[in-house]
Amino acid sequence: VKNCFHYPELVGEIIKQFEQKGKGCCLVGLKFMQASEDLLKEHYIDLNDSPVFTGLVMYMHSGPVVAMVWEGLKVVKTGRVMLGETNPADSKPGTIRGDFCIQVGRNIIHGSDSVKNAGKEISLWFQPKELVDYKSCVQNLIYE
């Protein structure tokens, strides 16, 4: 799953939540960066005809983001539950959006919605050499 969030002061908190909830999930890529407008336009291409597209690209370009890649069993599904609903007002307390967001237009985090889209998004944000291929030392204790 590829996650990207726009509040770098919460890096530790977000990683902590994935490490605690996603037992067996491995962080295999991490970048702190200023995303270019071109990268953001490509990332949100499916919203190109939406009235929120321009504002979303401007918002995400207004400051640094932290892009992450997590691997693990059902990590996309688990990640989506941890993020909460797209509309923070509909997100439960304890989810990232439920705890740290107020409005959709200033959403704190993006998460891939499918394995297929995760692959596409990872290739936009990361070069293969930027991803680490490893297995956690506790993997055999977590997975059958």
Name the token pair of 76: 């996309």
Edge to edge, the sheet with strand 65-71 lists: 26-33, 65-71, 2-5, 109-111
Name the token pair of 91: 């997100």
CB-based burial label for 23 (10 Å; 0-12, 13-18, 19+): middle
Whether residue 1 is predicted with pLDDT greater than 60 in this model: the reply is: no
Encode pLDDT of 72-107 as tens digits.
Answer: 888 999 999 999 999 999 999 999 999 998 888 888
Encode pLDDT of 13-65 as tens digits.
Answer: 889 888 887 566 789 999 999 999 999 999 999 999 999 899 999 999 988 89
For the entire predicted model, the pTM comes to: 0.85
Would you please indicate which residues are annotated as catalytic (active-site) residues? 110
